[in-house]
Amino acid sequence: MNLLTELVAFVVAIGVLVVVHEYGHYSVARLCGVKVLRFSIGFGRPLVQWVNKKSGTEWTISALPLGGYVKMLDERESPDKIPTDDLPRAFNRQSVGKRIAIVAAGPVANFILAIVLFAAVYGSGVTEPSAIVAAPPAQTAAAQAGFQGGETIVSVSNASGSDTERVRSWADLRWKLMSAAFDQHRVVLAARDGGGTYDFPLDLSRLSSKDLDDDFMSKLGLEAGGSKLTIAGVEADSAAQQAGLAKGDRLVAIDGHPVDSASTFIAYVKAHAGKPVHLKIVRDASAQNVAQGAAPGQAGQPQTMTLAVTPAAQRDAETGEDVGRIGAALAAQAPTVDVRYGPIESVQLGALRTWDIALYSLRMFGRMVTGEASLKNLSGPVTIADYAGKSARLGPSAFLSFLALVSISLGVLNLLPIPVLDGGHLLYYAVEAVTGKAVSDRWQLVLQRAGLACIVALSAIALFNDLARLIHF
């Protein structure tokens, strides 16, 4: 069933993005008076096709759905002589400005789609984890900033305090810090707790480009907190079972440190292989009934107790080091916030988020070209299908956000100055606009081959990364 969901979500996602991209080219071409011969969704053998009698455009759905194209009347690509009446409608007869507008319309349509999708998500409202900070590990940037755990971050500003942005959720905080990490070394986080609102200067200079590829929030010592952690299950003959842990136990503290983050708890257990740790738990009546050797307690009354657990040492497949494991599954009930905006603010935020993500994508691609960022960031159709399925199962808001992200990626990719892509054609027309002469057919052929080689190389790397993620090598 999961595979079917992924396939359907992937086909829907690719179909929507391709239609929007190609319709951008098509609509502007028609506005510029260019005759469009074919609008195709997919490549290869046509499965369905029909002709619009008014415009003469052939609409086609083809066998291979990974893309699409708009074929316009062009003297350079027509094997037969074009009728004299149609010559003014040929693409190659248009001014440089019109050709630039037609080619740029595809990526622009993708950006407009992303703005609309983000605006729909923001306007309809989305439930996200609250921006509550868990107790940070010692010596991390968050700990040095003064965070104790339990504070709710309300805004982010630059070091001088001249540019302040409101923080509405944990996802919002993560994105704002990622954007800030590219340009500056220090930000100020305003956070409130029971005593008021305070400023926490956070040093981002420790982050490298590689950290931004990974979970940079953990590197800063920032983990989402405020969660209520319970034991969802206990493995037979595990350290957890031997210590007396039972399903339904609520974790309160570990070695005296409050527990409100699953990742922080797991990291602490991993770091204490073979060393006893003391868990403070709250056990309700139902958990008392299933716990082995548990005191019966008074029916319906929760019982607080401390259990000593010695995590068993287990070899980590990635690092090759021994890590602690207690053999218990966790369930986290995180505090959430409903984020909802008005119509105008939704569109403004959609446009801002689209701009930020597009700019971040360009920066990341530039870092990959210069070797500052890993090529593992490239993803292909397998990863896209996987995330399409996961986001579809999470609900409409998640799927629309996923569509917006991929639409932005598609727009940015097509604007790269690589021949065979829209950006390559825009580069030709820019040269023509400056010099007054079109790039020669010979040079276009040479650059076309080089561009095709780049696309093949990028596709091969993306496919390799997909397979690496799939089989974990």
Residue 209 has a pLDDT of: 61
**Span 156-206, pLDDT tens digits:** 998 776 788 889 888 889 888 887 877 667 899 999 988 889 999 998 877
Q: Which residue has the higher pLDDT, 333 or 111?
A: 111
Regarding beta strands 322-325 and 196-203, do their DSSP bridges make them parallel or antiparallel, or are they unpaired? unpaired
- Residue 282 · residue 266 · CB < 8 Å: no
The single residue of 22, 235, 321, 372 carrying the catalytic annotation is 22
Q: Chain-wide mean pLDDT for the chain?
A: 84
pLDDT band at residue 297 under the 50/70/90 scheme: very low
In the residue annotation, 321 being an active-site residue is answered as no
Of the candidate CATH numbers 2.30.30, 1.10.10, 1.10.1200, 2.30.42, the domain formed by 141-220 belongs to 2.30.42
Alpha-carbon distance 358 to 365, whole Å? 11
The segment(s) of the chain belonging to CATH 2.30.42.10 are 228-328
**Span 250-262, pLDDT tens digits:** 999 999 888 888 8
pTM of the model: 0.70
Q: Give strand ranges (E) for 284-397.
A: 303-309, 312-315, 322-325, 328-333, 336-339
- Residue 409 · residue 377 · CB < 8 Å: no
**Span 235-252, pLDDT tens digits:** 999 999 999 999 999 999
Torsion sign across C-alpha atoms 387, 389, 394, 396: positive
Q: Over 90: is that where the pLDDT of 292 sits?
A: no
> 228-328 has which fold?
Pdz3 Domain (2.30.42)
